[in-house]
Amino acid sequence: MTNQEKMDALKERAKKIEAGGGEKAIAKLHASGRLTARERLALLFDKGSFVELYKFVEHRCTNFGMGTKEIPGEGVVTGYGSVDGRTVFAYAQDFGMMGGSLGEMHATKIVKCLEQATKVGCPVVGMNDSGGARIHEAVDALAGYGRIFYKNTMASGVIPQICAIMGPSAGGAVYSPALMDFVYMVKKDYAQMFITGPLVVKSVTGEEVSAVELGGAITHNQKSGNSHFVADSDEDCICQIKQLLSYLPSSHNERPPVIACDDPVDRREEKLNTIVPESSKRPYDMKKLIKLVVDHGEIYESQSLFAQNIITCFARMDGSPVGIIANQPLAMAGCLDINASDKAARFIRFCDCFNVPILTFVDVPGYLPGINQEFGGIIRHGAKLLYAYPEATVPKITIVIRKAYGGAYLGMCSSEAGADMVIAWPTAEIAVMGADGAANIIFRNEPDDLKQQKKEEYIEEFATPYQAAARGMVGQVIEPSETRPVIISALKMLEDKEDERPYKKHGNIPL
């Protein structure tokens, strides 16, 4: 064979692999509203930048007639390219080729993608669309999942790992997404994630449930909390992933990317002076408050449908990314419960891994009381938040808006829990418990004609930020309209913060 013939053979072989499952398989995917693996990657990467790796990998299974079965590219496309000019690695499973099933060599391609991304310090994006393990390969497929889980764990905290559920993901396939930092799900019937499907559930428990009800995007974004973002389509999902990447550094060795900002640093927002109601029993929208403070009112919220009593989102201050945790008075009065504690603690730890400063907006009346919370382990789950904040070494700024009561205030990053700067509004109420309830206990034996007077005097003195400020627990008490410039000033001051910690293998977070 001449050199030219060899080059022609190379092109022919590559063309066959790039055709994937063929025209019929592609048409079937498109009819269901899905894109192919290669189409998804083309949307993610800057035009012409994608470099495919391990294109010619083949399976080596001979069981059950697999010896003569061709699966182009082993049902998964892997490689790297640039996203808005920054290098990112990605893999996309192709349901059009044997259902995107995972075998030994399919797993090997994903493992190599994770290995190389970790080695060079670049984010990795996984696009899951697979019928699960390739049962023809038995334990080889099972071991493939194990190798992927190991690489996910080794990459954790080193590079951002993002997964998109863009098709079925069942059994062992769900655990790689669960080990990654953020999970997206497309809000279509074809995107599902569960350990066991509806038929198994019915056979074991007798419960009847559809695949979408059991493992669809709304279920995992609203009920289980297994997913962090919901997307309307493949295109919307990829657009959102690019938005998330814009807030993140490429690895733990870098700071988040700063962009030019024309929102004035010294902008005073007079609306903040009236956003908190006169009565502490009345709610308000914390998201609206946050948007009045951050650059151009733009936030990107994680788990917006789950544990809505707490907000976790990314934003920018003077062009620099920040992670924000905030109580939401519109949901359960902003109480901390099991799900809110888990949600916030995970977000805090991610921000700390990747050098994203943390802003905490506090309006918390306490931990949610009740038998279900106590039996469900609110003590253990609440302790995750108490652990995550002190463990974090990034700049931590706490802004007390209104209620800041008892252990829940400590859980929301008080100065004692490791905040570098605590800023309070005049509307702040920092106390061991609600002033009204405390007064009822303290003055319960007073005559009725004196009880109300003493109660009002107590509230006037203790339902304020000034007791805490007098003891150095609050660094600044400010007019609400000054919040933006004060926070930006504090972030600048903390930019080169160093936080020495004792050497240890790792801590033991109360999981």
CA distance 207 to 166: 26
CA distance 245 to 237: 12
CA distance 322 to 204: 46
CA-nearest of 435, 432, 336 to 389 is 336
CA-nearest of 392, 428, 432 to 410 is 432
Catalytic residue numbers, as ranges: 171-172, 407-408
Q: What is the DSSP letter of 94?
A: -
Could you give the angle at the alpha carbon of 216 between the alpha carbons of 189 and 313, nearest 5°?
120
Place of tokens 């269901």: 32
Q: Is 209 within 8 Å of 284 (Cβ atoms)?
A: no
What is the bridge-based pairing of β-strands 161-165 and 124-128? parallel
CA distance 437 to 233: 49
Strand partners, 358: 323, 396
CA distance 478 to 461: 18
Q: Is 380 within 8 Å of 280 (Cβ atoms)?
A: no
* Phi then psi dihedrals of residue 93, to 5 deg: -75, 145
